[in-house]
Amino acid sequence: MASNTRRDFVKQATLGTAALLAGSPPRVLGASDRVRVGMIGVGGRGQELLKQLQAVPNAELVAIADAYRRRHDEAKQMAAGIQTFDDHRRLLDLKDLDAVIVATPLHLHARHFLDTLAAGKDLYCEKTMTWSLPEAEQCLAAAKKSERIVQVGLQHESSGALADARKWISQGLVGKVTQVEAWMSRNTPHGKGQWVRPVPSDCTAENVSWKAFLDNRPERAFDPYKFINWRLFWEFSGGNVTENMVHQIAWIMSALELPLPVAATMSGGVFSEKDGREVPDTIVATLEFPEKTVTWQSTFSNNRYGLGERFLGSDGTIEHVAGASDMVTGKSEEVTHYYPEKINRPNGASLTGETPDQDHMANWIECVRRRHIPNAPVEIGYRSAVAAHMANLAYRRKQRVTLEAAQQVHPEF
């Protein structure tokens, strides 16, 4: 069972959110007003989002918060004149802040999600929305009670490929879909495991707010390796399921308008590099839905096929492939195709997707300004998070896990 401290945090944060949201309406923004944005977490992923924000017209980064002092200096080099904080609560106290981007390690998402809503700010929360299923429930409830705009960092939700797939499905070109196949593959040089990063010399107890990083997990001496390489450990991460599968399962769930999974199974292990990681690098996951199964395979030992999805329908197939290497040129490509099943659509023609991608960050900023629903709202963040947590729970328990069983689990740190 999870510690009472952790469960108490989630309950108290949710109650605090509900109480504070009632009297703090969002600032009304004109067409030329800058959306003033803060960021919590400006590591590797956060800095990528910072660049994306800087490319959006009439959006301005005004402050960042990070537990690691090194990130303060890096962010200042990218955005001169910003305020910097060790404690995210000081950032949230800024009265003229419209919105906040959360790009902290996964285990901190729920705290920063709930605190941001409680402070009356609109929110962009990196995927996966939460570290655990109970946190996903709490964050969904808090978002529904608020008037805040919430975008989850599921960038595939803004893709042209999703728009094309939805169109073909709604037109009846695919027929009844009973199975979806998805995959994601990567590779690294021998002896260099995926995600393993060197520890900078300044990553010391003096430069890191270790207690804030632990977030009520058991106290222990500062561990710079785990602080930098948190993705490798269950205590802070959901592994490749929450790093990559969640993007694709959200894409699939959105295209087919799927509910929560009925059950999940997952097998695999640490096969590619024996480097001390806990989370698996080789995975086969199956998610069960009413009259449908969705499988996802992944390896960190081969990147020939990149990532992709195939919707297998009675009347046709949708295939989306990104990052696969062309056998002749060696170049990677991204393409979405529809192929008719001639047995049921003898006169059907093959189609190629042409819809351009939208800018996921720009979509969020525009929705903050106009108070519209963004491309990846809290609902798809929630459903994709639940699917990811069910798959990981099935792997760790080595058994098929139903939705009802997963909802009763309070994960251990």
pLDDT of residue 326: 65
Please measure the distance between the N-terminal and C-terminal CA atoms of the chain and give it in whole angstroms. Answer: 9
Residue type, 200: P
CB 49 within 8 A of CB 126: yes
Q: What is the pLDDT of residues 163-207, one digit of tens each?
A: 999 999 999 999 999 999 999 999 999 999 999 999 999 999 999
CA of 320: how far to CAs of 43, 97, 306, 325, 352, in Å? 30, 39, 11, 14, 10
Mean residue pLDDT of the chain comes to: 93
- The residues near 94 (Cβ < 8 Å, ≥ 6 apart) are 38, 62, 63, 83
pLDDT reported for residue 25: 62
Instruction: Please give the C-alpha separations between residue 207 and each of 71, 73, 202, 210, 227, in angstroms, as whole numbers.
Output: 10, 12, 7, 9, 12
Q: Are 381 and 135 in contact (CB under 8 A)?
A: no
What pLDDT, on the 0 to 100 scale, is given for residue 4?
45
User: What is the pTM assigned to this prediction?
Assistant: 0.92
User: In the numeric block, which tokens belong to residue 348?
Assistant: 């059907």
The pLDDT tens digits of the residues spanning 250-293 come to 999 999 999 999 999 999 999 999 999 999 999 999 999 999 99
* Number of CB atoms found within 10 A of residue 276's CB: 12
For the chain, percent of residues with pLDDT exceeding 90:
88
Which H or E run includes 181? strand 177-185
3-state helix, strand, coil in the chain (%, to 5): 35, 25, 40
Domains in the chain (CATH in brackets) are: 4-157+361-378 (3.40.50.720)
CB atoms within 10 A of CB 410: 14
Which residue type does 80 have? Answer: A
Residue 8 scores a pLDDT above 70: no
Using alpha carbons, select from 159, 144, 100 the residue that is nearest to residue 124. 100
The strands making up 83-85's β-sheet, listed across from edge to edge, are 83-85, 59-65, 35-40, 99-102, 122-126, 150-153
Range of weakest confidence among 29-38, 90-99, 373-382: 29-38
pLDDT at 393 over 50: yes
Q: By the 8 A CB rule, do 198 and 339 touch?
A: no
Q: Which pLDDT band holds residue 1 (cuts at 50, 70, 90)?
A: very low
pLDDT band for position 328 (cuts 50, 70, 90) = low
Residue type, 195: W
Reported in sequence order, the residue ranges of 236-331 that DSSP labels E, i.e. its strands, are 263-269, 282-289, 292-299, 307-313, 316-325
Greater pLDDT, 162 or 27:
162
Question: Confidence band (pLDDT; 50, 70, 90) for 148?
Answer: very high
pLDDT in tens, 206-256: 999 999 999 999 999 999 999 999 999 999 999 999 999 999 999 999 999
Q: Does residue 39 have a pLDDT over 60?
A: yes
pLDDT category of residue 24 using cuts at 50, 70 and 90: low
Residue 296 and residue 390: Cα distance in Å, rounded? 13
